[in-house]
Amino acid sequence: MRLGGVDVPCDWHAEGHSDADVLLHAVTDALLGAAALGDIGEMFPDTDTANRGRDSADMLTRAWQRVAARGYRIANIDCIVHAQRPKLSSHKEAIRRRIAALLGLPQDSVGVKAKTGESVGPVGRQEAIVAECVVLLETMIPPQGD
């Protein structure tokens, strides 16, 4: 299974139009949303055959280029993955490093947390993996003097 751009050993995989990396999709959506540039489905529609099996790292990189072109820089990113399985504790640092590398950030600007469903709901029953991400953007436009 691919999560956060990292292959995590698991006896099942997520299904999706692209490579189904739910965490990189959440980061991509958070970046686009924070810059008021729409969402991942608008930029990479699943109706376009070119996006079938697409690498989510490429999608994130392209979205970040659009956001940066609008004059923003990333202050920090905070991510949560909700999954009963696979257990992610031993993979969180690799995921942080990968996201930081994709976005040209220091690793300490990327937070990654993992939560289980405590055997409750779709996550707890292993029917779904959910990822959430919050991005803080700063404008790179210099302040105007008096």
Residue by residue, pLDDT tens for the chain (146 residues) are 889 999 887 776 666 666 779 999 999 999 999 999 999 989 888 877 776 767 899 999 999 999 999 999 999 999 999 999 889 999 999 999 999 999 999 999 999 999 998 889 999 988 889 999 999 999 986 655 55
Is the torsion defined by CA of 29, 32, 37, 42 positive or negative? Answer: negative
Instruction: Return the bridge partners of 115, or none.
Output: 82
CA distance 8 to 14: 12
Q: Which domains does the chain have, with CATH numbers?
A: 2-139 (3.30.1330.50)
Residue among 107, 110, 70, 114 nearest 91 (CA): 114
- pTM (2 d.p.): 0.88
Cis amide linkage into residue 86, ω under 30° from 0: yes
